[in-house]
């Protein structure tokens, strides 16, 4: 098949084994991924630019996937350009600690980050200036806007034009209201999708693109609306722009410095969010320790059930050193491995 038989489009949504594809020429096709691509291990993600061979009745088959500009794993999305993190200035009151959690999470994707503060109609000019000053110290220059009063919306439209933008932020801040304002014909659908999603099993992994009339897409995924950290203790500092700046100007004495109280650390000191950094670091270190313990426990002991029915942990013997593996067992293991892998591949392909 040559490229001339095919048309190019963008994957808008994935459901079961079907891909909803918006062709550049305007039509929407429901596409399948041929076995050939599956065998090659070629994943297809929402946001992918793909060539499709159209068949009849608005159906098509994916011919190939073009190289990705960016790729996120959780939730799975290709070619996203930026994140618009939305918070409300009031109702609910803007909490600097919660805002920082979301900022760190968004920074850890390494995508361009835009910060939008909605409900500007609920605060005074003075309060607005105070937030502006504070956030400048953190390294951010937010958009202040009000969906309700339709203020500051044009600047946001310009920033989103022709881009794939992930909307992120806690609930109640006005993400749906902003989306409805930017894509008026979507109002009803968003409500329906969100309703469905909240009941869905793989909620945080679901992603869907919505096309804006002026060009560009909004990516909607509940997965971005959870403030869980997605980084290591060593990386955390890089997701605070004000600390990043200190690190670009000097170097800590120790390569693995965690910027707690180590000697000759260039980060430790007087900056407003330093206490947030320490707090998040503590949480991440605790998570890492828990994971390490689970791994240790899994690898060095096995559960044994005694004749009495009592369950106990026994140290595992090192297979190579102390035990010969029977042929039957190794055959069984291979079969298990094969089945396990096939299942995993199916999950992977169904992502």
Binding site for ligand GDP (CB under 6 A): 118-119, 121-122, 146-148, 171-177
CB of 86 to ligand GDP, least distance (A): 7
Residue 146 C-beta: closest distance to ligand GDP, Å: 4
Q: Between 176 and 221, name the residue whose CB sits nearer to ligand GDP.
A: 176
Cβ 155 vs Cβ 143: under 8 Å: yes
| Residue placing its CB nearer to ligand GDP in the complex, 75 or 174 | 174
Give the integer Cα–Cα distance in Å for 112 and 106.
Answer: 9
Name the minimum Å distance from CB 333 to ligand GDP: 49
- Smallest distance, ligand GDP to C-beta of residue 252, A: 39
Looking at the chain, the number of H-run helices and the number of E-run strands are 10, 15
> Which backbone phi and psi does 275 adopt, to 5 degrees?
-65, -30
In the complex with ligand GDP, the residue whose CB is nearer, 148 or 230, is 148
Which of 84/237 has CB closer to ligand GDP? 84
Verify cis geometry, omega within 30 degrees of 0, for the bond prior to 75. Answer: yes
Q: At what angle do helices 274-300 and 96-107 cross, to 10 degrees?
A: 60
C-alpha separations of 69 from 102, 201, 331 in Å? 23, 29, 43
CA–CA distance, 351 with 333 (Å, rounded to integer): 27
Tell me whether residue 9 or residue 222 sits nearer to ligand GDP (CB atom).
222
CA distance 157 to 122: 22
Of 243, 317, 320, 323, the C-alpha closest to 278 is 243
Rounded distance between C-alpha atoms, residue 182 and residue 47, angstroms: 19
Cα(167)–Cα(113) distance, integer angstroms: 10
Q: What is the DSSP letter of 12?
A: E
> Least distance in Å: CB of 166 to ligand GDP?
14
**Would you say 33 and 11 are in contact if contact means Cβ atoms under 8 Å apart?**
no
If the CB atoms of residues 31 and 147 are measured against ligand GDP, the closer one turns out to be 147
Between 110 and 171, name the residue whose CB sits nearer to ligand GDP: 171
Helix (H, G, I), strand (E, B) or coil at 141: coil
Q: CB 148 → ligand GDP: shortest distance, Å?
A: 4
Cβ-based neighbours of 338, under 8 Å, separated by 6 or more:
none
**Residue 219 C-beta: closest distance to ligand GDP, Å:** 14
Shortest distance in whole angstroms from residue 90 CB to ligand GDP = 8
Other beta carbons within 10 Å of 97: 12
- Taking the least distance from each CB to ligand GDP, the nearer of 90 and 351 is 90
């Amino acid at each position: 098949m040559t490229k001339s038989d095919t048309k190019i489009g963008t994957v808008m949504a994935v459901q079961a084994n079907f891909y909803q594809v918006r062709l550049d020429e305007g039509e929407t096709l429901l596409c399948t991924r041929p076995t050939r691509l599956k065998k090659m291990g070629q994943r297809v993600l929402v946001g992918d630019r793909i060539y499709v061979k159209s068949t009849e009745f608005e159906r098509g088959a994916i011919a190939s996937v073009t190289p990705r500009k960016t790729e996120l794993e959780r939730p799975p999305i290709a070619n996203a350009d930026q994140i618009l993190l939305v918070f409300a200035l009031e109702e609910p009151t803007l909490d600097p600690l919660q805002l920082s959690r979301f900022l760190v999470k968004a920074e850890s994707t390494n995508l361009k980050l835009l910060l939008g503060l909605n409900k500007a109609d609920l605060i005074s000019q003075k309060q607005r200036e105070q937030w502006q000053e504070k956030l400048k110290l953190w390294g951010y220059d937010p958009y202040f806007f009000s969906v309700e009063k339709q203020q500051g919306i044009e600047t946001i439209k310009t920033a989103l034009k022709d881009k794939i933008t992930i909307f992120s932020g806690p609930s109640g801040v006005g993400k749906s209201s902003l989306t409805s304002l930017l894509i008026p014909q979507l109002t009803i659908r968003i409500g329906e999708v969100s309703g469905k999603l909240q009941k869905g099993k793989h909620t945080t992994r679901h992603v869907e693109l919505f096309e804006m009339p002026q060009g560009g897409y909004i990516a909607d995924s509940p997965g971005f609306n959870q403030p869980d950290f997605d980084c290591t203790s060593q990386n955390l500092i890089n997701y605070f722009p004000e600390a990043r700046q200190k690190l670009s100007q000097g170097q800590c004495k120790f390569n693995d410095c965690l910027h707690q109280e180590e000697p000759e650390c260039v980060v430790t000191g007087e900056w407003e969010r330093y206490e947030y950094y320490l707090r998040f670091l503590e949480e991440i270190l605790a998570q890492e320790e828990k994971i390490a313990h689970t791994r240790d426990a899994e690898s060095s002991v096995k559960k044994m059930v005694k004749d009495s029915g009592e369950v106990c942990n026994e140290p595992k013997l090192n297979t190579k050193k102390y035990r010969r593996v029977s042929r039957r067992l190794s055959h069984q293991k291979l079969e298990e491995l094969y089945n396990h892998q096939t299942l995993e591949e199916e999950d992977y392909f169904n992502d």
